[in-house]
Structure 1
Amino acid sequence: MKLNIIDRIENLQSNNQFSGTAFVKNEDQVLVDVSYGFANRSEQIKNQTETRYGIASGCKLFTSIAICQLVEEGKISFDSTLRDCLDVKFPHFDETITIHRLLTHTSGIPDYFDEEVMDDFEDLWIKNPMYHIRCLKDFLPLFQNENMKSAVGERFHYNNAGYILLGLVVEQASGFAFTDYVEKRIFKKAGMLDSGYFAFDSLPERIALGYIDNSDGTWKTNIYSLPVRGGSDGGAFVTATDMGRFWEALMNHQLINKSITNQLLTAHTEVKEDSFYGYGVWIEKHENLISKYHVMGYDPGVSFHSAYFPNSSFKVVVCSNKSRGAFDIMKGIEEELSKITFNKTSI
């Protein structure tokens, strides 16, 4: 099986020039740990197991866990309203918006980057330079005074602004800066010692620079395409092995208790047939059984997919420092894993 997966990855990599790391683990056995391409093209520094990759929206799950920890401590509840949790004025927002609605992308608030009407993330920084976006409150002018996009609970609308608000709730309830909170209360507890929220203008060692390839063969890095520092809607850096440790910590209830973990992993809203959203995590079902929990992230110069398969305990992580590539590798790995017959358990 190990050879089949690696052969499949090799074939896909040769077709799409995948740059990044693919990691597959089952229980304590690492089945796949392969890397391709360069973390730094100019210096010809290769990607490797210890390379730290940006994961874009893949870290919304970290934000959800932070909220769940605060719920577990009794500081907030999933039914708490935004206005009761955050001392910030939103003149046109519905006052009934709850933490649950923000977690499930059903709040109806406007997004600062609305994927239904915008194509290019870089367009955001024409009027609002990315080098001014260093903390969560810096995002507020991008959406704070806008009108509601839809009624609360009317539909699922993937929403980055909602997760900015959740991060601000974490800051107000905990007294910590959001990134400090996650690094201390999630990364450290999960043993993710190489992961963090690093600023583009003070990056540590072993970072994979994100690359944007042009059709004429030229390229550029993504340092002028994203906020200086990531936050509660995306932008952390992780290693593939750290992400594997994260899934283990989450599923073993090291981060939040079993009851609240089950709430986080509940399919709260249907996005499309057999595809659902929990709290910060995508959920796929097959014949009404949960087959996969997964997260993903796409930014200029970043593509990321990671999944936990509950019927087999497989953990898969695919990190790339290019705008495309992770999806194809993830799909290939899943197809190889699907050839194995697992005993299904009802959810």
Structure 2
Amino acid sequence: MTQKTKHLLLKTLLIGLLIQTGFSSVSLGQSKEEKIDQVVSLYADYGKFNGSILVSENGKVIYKKGFGKANMEWNIPNQPNTKHRIGSITKQFTAMLVLQQVQQGNLSLDDVITDHLSNYPKATGDKITLHHLLTHTSGIPNYTAYADFFKNETRNPYQPEEFIKLFSDSTLHFTPGKKFEYSNSGYLLLGAILEKVTGRPYELVLQENILTPLGMTNTGFDHYATILKNRAAGYEKEGSGYKNADYIDMSIPYAAGSMYSTVEDLYLWDQALYTEQLLSSKYKELLFTPFIPAWSSSYGYGWFIMQLPIGGGNDPLLIHQHDGGVNGFHTVISRIPSEKHMIVMLNNTGHAALNDINLAINAILHDLPYQLPKRSFAKTLWEVVSTKGFEAGLQWFNENRNSTEYELNEYEINVMGYQLLNMQKTKEAIIVFQLNVDAFPESWNTYDSLAEAYIQDENEEMAVLYYKKSLKLNSKNTNAKKYIKAHKS
């Protein structure tokens, strides 16, 4: 998942809980479980959730259910015991493993990379500590943000130290410790360091130190070749339907995002965090210490920490949360430790409305008003285009863009544009991307996508123009920088 997407998810949750009075409520006679079921069922009906969900209140499970299909080819439904790839939720497990080694005296949070990885460049490795890696304050570029990374590298299996060479010589984005910048690279390094200090593969360290003690029998390191019972397939939206997600070798996300789990097993994980079974309170507190401002929240070790007001004169709630994204999967775990509430959602159709669902369920748990979902604007638009043609679709867009019945989603419109590009309908794609720019003028990604469409249209002047607009909003857009540099007049 991109930094921009994570920022939007967190920002939306913050804003949403600040404007509760604008939310609509459903029948006052419904129980919390019934309200949750109605909300999630509507999201599923509108194509905005396809996966498994579990909600606990005061430490007790009050709702768990599967929606949609774990495997669309065989029409196999999602269930609470369906195994999903959890993406960056893996990071909190890696952070726990590191602190376990610190507690045992095998590591120190002040250790630098080169204390354990002797082949790492000393110029940077001598000054980046484990604390920097855990808090995304190392300055090491995020390898998944490299231009063409997903196109060129993700199908190839790597050993950790071999993969580290892809980014170890990179110039740091900033002095370590000075700021937050989300980086999968840091957690990949932590996995390699764990292997060095224990003399064991990461997945065995994970199994022996967390999964087996907690009885998490449906959780592990995901290997493509393994025959894994109840494993969900990953999909991505395409038009009004879905396609199989692109293959990724799980040695790529590794200690930053390689795990699979179930909502039921993640409930066991949540409950263990209230105990000292895995780690003493002294070190466990470090997981949830807000060390560094991170977008609209703070970051501890493998967790975002947010102070969220819930209205009614109550004190702000402390929420521990992290989402994950890996090809075809989108996940979130959200905890309110003071109340022992927990929401976990594992979705196997890529980008989903998990933040909106999370927001509504949190409101239900606190007897506050909440909002029911709206139909997908992009999905309906594509259905019109597919059945009546592009011109009819444009007419429908203009007639309904301000309708309160639909939700206009930047990502979904963007996906539609790229689908048109892949169909070689370049002119139509440019129109769709321009519509997205008009609807979301503060998003650097809308301009970036429009620039790519103009490249396919062989219109260098317009591509440069929109790449420059994108750069004004995101100075780290490397694709834009490279294209502009290569096409200076």
Q: TM above 0.5, one fold? A: yes
Tell me what 2:61 maps to.
30
Shift of 1:240: 0.3
- Percentage of matched positions with identical amino acids: 26
Tell me what 2:324 maps to.
297
Describe the superposition over 1:155-178 as per-residue Cα deviations: whole angstroms up to 9, x where unpaired: 100000000111111111111101
Segments of 5+ residues of structure 1 without an aligned counterpart are 341-347
Q: 1:108 to 1:127 in 2, by over 3 A?
A: same
Q: How does 1:1-16 map to 2 (within 5 A)?
A: 1-16=32-47
Tell me what 2:290 maps to.
267
* Contact 1:201 1:228 (8 Å CA) reproduced: no
Within 2, Cα distance between the matches of 1:204 and 1:136? 24
Q: How does 1:74-153 map to 2 (within 5 A)?
A: 74-93=105-124, 95-114=126-145, 123-128=148-153, 130-133=155-158, 135-153=159-177
Choose from 248, 253, 277 the match for 1:254: 277
* Contact 2:89 2:257 (8 Å CA) reproduced: yes
SS of corresponding position for 2:333:
strand
Tell me what 2:341 maps to.
314
Q: 1:139 to 1:332 in 2, by over 3 A?
A: farther
Shift of 1:75: 0.6
Which is further off, 56-65 or 319-328? 319-328
Shift of 1:179: 1.1
Choose from 44, 61, 68 the match for 2:75: 44
Name the aligned partner's letter for residue 305 of structure 2: I
* Contact 1:94 1:152 (8 Å CA) reproduced: no
Shift of 1:28: 5.3
Within 1, Cα distance between the matches of 2:253 and 2:141? 20
Choose from 344, 367, 378 the match for 1:339: 367
* Contact 2:40 2:49 (8 Å CA) reproduced: no
Kindly indicate whether residue 302 of structure 2 is the aligned counterpart of residue 280 of structure 1.
Answer: yes
Describe the superposition over 1:268-322 as per-residue Cα deviations: whole angstroms up to 9, x where unpaired: 111134x110001111113685521112101220100111111210121100111
Within 1, Cα distance between the matches of 2:334 and 2:100? 22
Q: Which has the larger radius of gyration?
A: 2
Within 1, Cα distance between the matches of 2:249 and 2:324? 13
Name the aligned partner's letter for residue 14 of structure 1: D
Describe the superposition over 1:316-343 as per-residue Cα deviations: whole angstroms up to 9, x where unpaired: 1100111122333222212222326xxx
Describe the superposition over 1:48-98 as per-residue Cα deviations: whole angstroms up to 9, x where unpaired: 111100011111000000000000000111111121132232254252211
Describe the superposition over 1:160-207 as per-residue Cα deviations: whole angstroms up to 9, x where unpaired: 000011111111111110111111111112221110112112241100
SS of corresponding position for 1:113:
helix
Which is further off, 288-297 or 147-156? 288-297
Within 2, Cα distance between the matches of 1:328 and 1:11? 12
Name the aligned partner's letter for residue 258 of structure 1: S
Higher relative contact order (CA 8 A, sep 6+): 1
SS of corresponding position for 1:83:
helix
Q: 1:68 to 1:36 in 2, by over 3 A?
A: same
Tell me what 1:345 maps to.
none
Shift of 1:228: 5.4
Within 1, Cα distance between the matches of 2:66 and 2:151? 35
Q: 1:187 to 1:318 in 2, by over 3 A?
A: same
Within 2, Cα distance between the matches of 1:49 and 1:129? 29
SS of corresponding position for 1:131:
coil
Q: How does 1:65-76 map to 2 (within 5 A)?
A: 65-76=96-107
Name the aligned partner's letter for residue 130 of structure 1: R
Q: 1:317 to 1:101 in 2, by over 3 A?
A: same
SS of corresponding position for 2:63:
strand
Length-normalised TM-score, structure 1: 0.89
Tell me what 1:329 maps to.
357
Shift of 1:29: 2.8
Segments of 5+ residues of structure 2 without an aligned counterpart are 1-31, 310-314, 369-489
- Structure holding more helix per residue: 2
Q: 1:182 to 1:261 in 2, by over 3 A?
A: same
Choose from 214, 221, 232 the match for 1:208: 232
* Contact 2:292 2:298 (8 Å CA) reproduced: yes
Tell me what 2:266 maps to.
243
SS of corresponding position for 2:177:
coil
Q: 1:292 to 1:218 in 2, by over 3 A?
A: closer
RMSD across aligned C-alpha pairs, in angstroms? Answer: 2.1
Tell me what 1:343 maps to.
none
Q: 1:324 to 1:218 in 2, by over 3 A?
A: closer
* Contact 1:57 1:233 (8 Å CA) reproduced: yes
Count of residues in correspondence between the two structures: 332
* Contact 1:269 1:278 (8 Å CA) reproduced: yes
* Contact 2:299 2:305 (8 Å CA) reproduced: yes
